[in-house]
Amino acid sequence: MGNSIEKRYIVITLWLSIAISILVHFSRIFDESISHSSSQNSLVQFTFNILSEIFITFIICFLLFLINFYILKPLQTNRLNKPVTIVIAVIVSFTIVLFLSHFLFLFKSTIFPRVEAEKHESLFFFKDFFIALVVIVCIYVIKVIYQNQRNRLEIQNLKIENLQRQFDALKNQVSPHFLFNSLNSLTTLIRETPLVAQEYLNHLSSVLRYTLQANENKLVSLNDELQFVESYFFLIKLRFNQNITLSLNINKNLAEFKIPPLALQILIENAVKHNEISKRHPLELSVSTTDLNTLIVINNINKKYAPESGTGLGLVNLSNQYRILVGKDIIIKNDNINFVVEIPLLKP
């Protein structure tokens, strides 16, 4: 990605260098082409002379674009240049133009001595300053255009991720696998333990209602999420019995702190999908808070030989949500014994 961006920058600056070179010498080409039209030898000499000047100016411009790529860093998003950096860029650019222009045109004067004798140093000085200024302005135009494109792309990606999250949530709501297990368990409970079946149905309704409402909110309180997790885990617990446990150690002072909806469901579902759950290998889940306003979810690792199929985007989407919402990332740790995910709690 970085290489492709730098290649685009080089191509753009090549064309800009050509345009600036022609612009700088355009008036002279127009004026002097008339005065040299009467003499064939004079016209040929003038043509080679002006082409060499355009080429020298092109080399200087392109070199300035390359040097200022590292000074002004136009392709770094959300980066404002300090005034000191801009002053350094102007001084460096003008100095380079001044010295290169002097030596290159001095070398050219040995080829076209008669023409160079008519030039004035004041004109050279003004032209050098003009070139340095135009290059820096062009770099800032590139920077503004690039950042606008990046911002539009990030907004578009956010919309796509939001739609994907809503689709995934909806898909979970009507997942044939989820509904089959839930209804199958409910059928058995109705036949064997009607009272438990009623409780199971209440929790199932709560889960479906919460997932339907989750798409309407960017953030929910930790307390609401924990109430949902209680219902969600009740359904899982009946499926795996004593082979799965969930311990909660939550600071009540953080109950109104915010997290993205279904964040805990994603982490619990991720643990269930990727680990064996049996009497020999029970799954132990714990959810706790820290003094640093962080929620920590831990599960022991008992990898399945054939894990359940999935998109594999749950943790990625959760991480992207945090980066967009607060500019932070979730922390994932895996020591092959425990799988740990730390997610920031946001102040209400």
Q: What is the CATH number of domain 213-344?
A: 3.30.565.10
CB 236 within 8 A of CB 244: yes
**Model confidence at 339: pLDDT above 70:** yes
- 281-324 per-position pLDDT tens digit: 999 999 999 988 899 999 999 987 765 555 456 787 788 778 77
d(CA 61, CA 97): 8
Does the pTM exceed 0.75? no
pLDDT digits (tens, 9 = 90+) for 221-276: 999 999 999 998 988 888 888 999 999 999 999 999 998 888 898 899 888 888 98
Paired residues of 249 in beta bridges = 288
Mean pLDDT of 93-100: 79
Which ranges in the chain are annotated with CATH 3.30.565.10? 213-344
Neighbours of 26 (CB within 10 A): 11
- Are the C-beta atoms of 254 and 289 separated by less than 8 Å? yes
